[in-house]
Amino acid sequence: MGRAPEGGEGGGGLTGYIVHHLTHHTWQLPFGGTLHLDSWLIALVLGLLACFLLWTQARKATSGVPGKAQAFVELVVEFVDAQVKDTFHGDRRFIAPLALTIFVWVAFMNAMDLLPLDLPSAVITAVAGPEAAHHTYLRVVPTADVNTTFALSVTVFLLVIFYSIKAKGGWGFTKELFTAPFHAEGAFGKVVLAIPNLFLNLVEYLSKPVSLGMRLFGNMYAGELVFMLIAGLFMSWATFVPGVLFQSAWAIFHILIILLQAFIFMVLTIVYLAMAHEHH
């Protein structure tokens, strides 16, 4: 949280403040297009940090009375494993670690929304001066970037296709696309219903990554925008204390959203994989 500047890119006052905070640090790719370098780098660092923290606790795990950190990690692992066990009835040796990775990684990325809004700008100002801070863009919440959430959801979609083919075979998967959900007796009926079945199955399959990615992105983007609006509305020092109170209240409520969105993304991933694994 911080005081909005008097001017900024995209306009002055509140408008310029929000536009500046919603602009990504981009990198032009040699083959065309741009890469949101801030989202990619922060997501990578958080993923490696999550792996490191879990690895250190796994190394120090004891069979005796666990410490607080080990007890917390065990609680998270058992919670995720219980969700997988209740939903996925096949071999869980890959699904359980996948679900744990998704839950912890998404929770870490979502939690970046709790950092003080102007902390990155304050650090850049202290190191390189206000002019560098004004021309430096950095969005620290990777899941508030639709590219990040769609990258996650497309990966889940590819796993759904893989498990569908693994469970039903290539021919069984292809046949199901044309023969379900509508069934018909006789060659003529099967030919007539083949196109409607294919259309419905394509809509069902494609809607999964879209809904998965947009749900996470929409909630985190909205939460980030509320933090910016509160900071902008209380931009003067005279309203600094009310601004801190409003930001604190929203941050406490936002903790629930952070964990809930990570949980929903994990559970829907398990459900989609369980549906793909089951035979019709």
Residue 2 lies in a domain: no
Is residue 13 in some structural domain?
A: yes
Q: What is the pTM assigned to this prediction?
A: 0.88
Tally: H helices and E strands in the chain: 9, 4
Q: Which of 92, 147, 201, 215 is catalytic?
A: 215
Q: Return the structure tokens found at 17.
A: 């403040």
Q: Does some domain include residue 248?
A: yes
Asked whether residue 33 is domain-assigned, the answer is yes
Note the pLDDT tens digit of each residue in 31-52.
888 999 999 999 999 999 999 9
Give the pLDDT score at 87: 93
Any domain includes 114: yes
Let me know if 201 is a catalytic residue: no
**Residue 1 domain-assigned (yes or no):** no
Query: Domain range holding 268?
Result: 7-277
Question: Does 147 participate in catalysis according to the annotation?
Answer: no
Is position 219 annotated as part of the catalytic site?
Answer: yes
Map tokens 């494993």 to a residue: 81
For CA atoms 163, 167, 171, 174, the dihedral sign is: negative
Mean residue pLDDT of the chain comes to 88
Q: What is the DSSP secondary structure assignment for residue 238, as one 8-state letter?
A: G
Domain count of the chain? 1
Single out the catalytic residue among 207, 211, 236, 248: 211
The pair phi, psi for residue 28, each rounded to 5°, is -70, 125
Q: Is the pLDDT of residue 3 over 50?
A: no
**Confidence at 5, pLDDT banded by 50, 70, 90:** very low
User: Which residue in the list 121, 164, 197, 219 is annotated as catalytic?
Assistant: 219
pLDDT at 236: 64
* Residue among 204, 217, 233, 29 at smallest CA distance from 117: 233
- Tell me the pLDDT band of 1, cut-offs 50, 70 and 90: very low
Check whether 75 has a pLDDT greater than 90. yes
Collapsed DSSP state (helix, strand, coil) of residue 187? helix
